[in-house]
Structure 1
Amino acid sequence: MTGPQRIVCLTEEPTETLYALGEQHRIVGISGFTVRPAIARKEKPKVSAFTSAKIGEILQLKPDFVVGFSDIQSEIAAELIKHGVEVWISNHRSVDGILDYIRRLGALVGASGRADAYADELRRGLDEIERASAALPRRPRVYFEEWDEPPITGIRWVAELIRIAGGDDVFPELSIESLAKHRILADAGVVVQRAPDIILGSWCGKKFRPEKVAARPGWQAIPAVRDGELHEIKSPLILQPGPAALTDGVREMARIIQDWSKRLA
């Protein structure tokens, strides 16, 4: 067997990807936020959060490879590197980036063929959704909220999936910002001006409260609030740059947009 034999996954997307590729036997530790696949929580020890990790417990697992995501985990990565652990921190932020990530992770564990086939399957699924959405008589304007206090808008892969599902993100200029702090709305009133037809909430790690959103000053004038088009997409389905977003996440978006379109017909 080639490639690393004892992998610790600091976020959910490498865990979901390795299970999808049939390489879960290599995983010796996972993120405590992991919910996909459900069996991973039962089988694998949880050794990290997103911005923190149990370094001692990770080292006891004797990993030969640790996979993490983004600059947010740079301190964890640095600490592990100081202990001689090989670390890969990916930084993909787009739909194409997610597909490429799957291919690269597959190659690292000697499963290039399966990873390529899986990425191709995911791409076909996205193409099918995009073809269906192209038939919509009208595209809704969509506001995606990743956090509420302060309001943070959606990242690039989220905006791209909204487009694939048949909508248009109302903050495309912010979606290209990789860091959440650069997607904070200093004035939430600007959402009123952009008049979204649909509001999608995915508050990272906590339940979306549509009634609180609807009660914000001036928001009663927003078409989405007026028409009751406030919907939650569970954060594990859309905020992880991995398979979940390209499957259940985008499908849920497409369902909401299709239902909105039918209501207008």
Structure 2
Amino acid sequence: MAEVKTFTDQLGNTITLNGVPQRIVSLVPSQTELLFDLGLEGRIVGITKFCVHPYHLKATKSLIGGTKKVHIEKIRLLKPDIIIANKEENTEEIVASLQDIAPVWVSDIITIEDSLAMIAEFGKIFGVRTQANQWIDKIEFARRDFAQFMNGKPFQRAAYFIWKEPYMAVANGTFINELLKLNHFTNIYEGREGRYPEVIVQKMRIQGDPQVVLLPSEPYPFKDEDAFELGRHTHHAKTVFVDGEMFSWYGSRLVKAFAYFKQLQDRMEEPV
């Protein structure tokens, strides 16, 4: 008979599992990538259409919709043992509607410590503690190495936009903001109310006047004309296109992210 175990997710909710889960549905792209990197590909049965890493999963796993709108019946038919969700990516309504199907474990990632705690918990839940600890060690090493790389580099005022029409920027209480700090970017919108506030770009000069404007590849695909538009509302800020996944995906992606940040810092030192 399978051993019954209880686990607490990052919202403080307790879930009960009858044995080690063998059928996993993941509603979060970065957590799908982590599950794969933990050696759990064979147990993943359902993913979202945004779960693009590794790319071949979209051809081998059932697609259950997006992160904000899922197909409940498709998930039910997959008969999952556990569903992995995230507070920011998935709505409370989605989580509540899926709890009748299987236990739902919800992450809440703001800091790297939160990410490492999630990886450790996945190790316990899925019986892959050794693999989880290996990834934690890799991330910790990469973080220490990057901190040493950044030692002595100046801080620069920055604005990181995530959307247009209306323009929205990253503020405090977000994973992206934590990674901005590690890159010695002082977020001019950090003190704004809300995690992703709407901002009036015409006021950038008086609201912090960034030296750097960061335009990510996701969730909004910014273009050259956007860089020009935003740049002209600053005093000669450098507009830089960045890989949005590296700033917003947590889990095993962090190892690649720290290597990417070194390249980004080198780019920042190049003349305009």
Q: Please tell me the TM-score bracket, short chain as reference.
A: 0.7 to 0.9
Distance 2:231 2:178 in 1: 29
Distance 1:261 1:37, change over 3 A: same
Normalised to the residue count of structure 1, the TM-score between the two structures is 0.84
- The equivalent residue for 2:92 is 74
Corresponding residue for residue 231 of structure 1: 240
Deviation at 1:163, TM superposition (A): 2.2
- Which residue matches 2:186? 168
Match of 1:145 in 2: 161
Query: Match of 2:106, as an amino acid?
Result: I
What is the CA distance between 1:66 and its match in structure 2?
0.3
Between the aligned residues of both structures, percent identity stands at 21
The CA distance in 1 between the partners of 2:170 and 2:217, in whole Å, is: 11
Residue 264 (structure 2) aligned to one of 253, 256, 260: 256
Count of residue pairs the alignment pairs up? 251
Q: For residues 204 and 261 of structure 2, what CA distance do their matches in structure 1 show?
A: 19
- Most deviating of 254-263 and 86-95: 254-263
CA contact (8 A) 1:8 1:67 kept: yes
1:10-29 paired onto structure 2 within 5 Å: 10-29=27-46
Q: CA deviation at 1:76?
A: 1.4
Alpha-carbon displacement from aligned partner over 1:57-76 (angstroms, at most 9, x marks no partner):
11111101000111642211
Q: Determine if contact 1:152/1:184 at 8 Å carries over to the other structure.
A: yes
Equivalent residue letter for 1:70: K
Query: Which structure dedicates a bigger proportion of its chain to helix?
Result: 1
**Mapping for residues 108-119 of structure 1, pairs under 5 Å:** 108-119=125-136
Instruction: Please give the secondary structure, in 1, of the residue aligned with 2:68.
Output: coil
- What is the alpha-carbon distance in structure 2 between the residues aligned to residue 260 and residue 14 of structure 1? 30
Match among 112, 131, 142 for residue 125 of structure 1: 142
CA distance 1:202–1:260, shift in 2 (3 Å):
closer
User: What letter is aligned with 2:212?
Assistant: I
Cα distance in 1 for residues equivalent to 2:246 and 2:66: 17
Q: Is the 8 A contact 2:27 2:84 kept in 1?
A: yes
- The one-letter amino acid paired with 2:248 is L
Instruction: Tell me the distance in 2 between the aligned counterparts of 1:33 and 1:12.
Output: 6
**Could you tell me how far 1:250 is from its partner in structure 2?**
4.3
In 2: Cα distance, 1:243 partner to 1:145 partner: 24
Which residue is equivalent to 2:229?
215
Contact 1:12/1:34 (<8 A) preserved: yes
RMSD: 2.4
CA contact (8 A) 1:202 1:233 kept: yes
- Can you list the C-alpha shifts for 1:82-111, whole angstroms capped at 9, x where unaligned? x34211121222221112111112211011
| CA distance in structure 2 between the partners assigned to 1:142 and 1:86 by the alignment | 40
Q: CA deviation at 1:262?
A: 4.8
Helix, strand or coil: the match of 1:38? coil
The CA distance in 1 between the partners of 2:231 and 2:129, in whole Å, is: 52
Give unpaired runs (5+ residues) of structure 1.
Answer: none
Specify the code of the residue in structure 2 equivalent to 1:238: F
Structure 2: which 5+ residue stretches go unaligned? 3-18
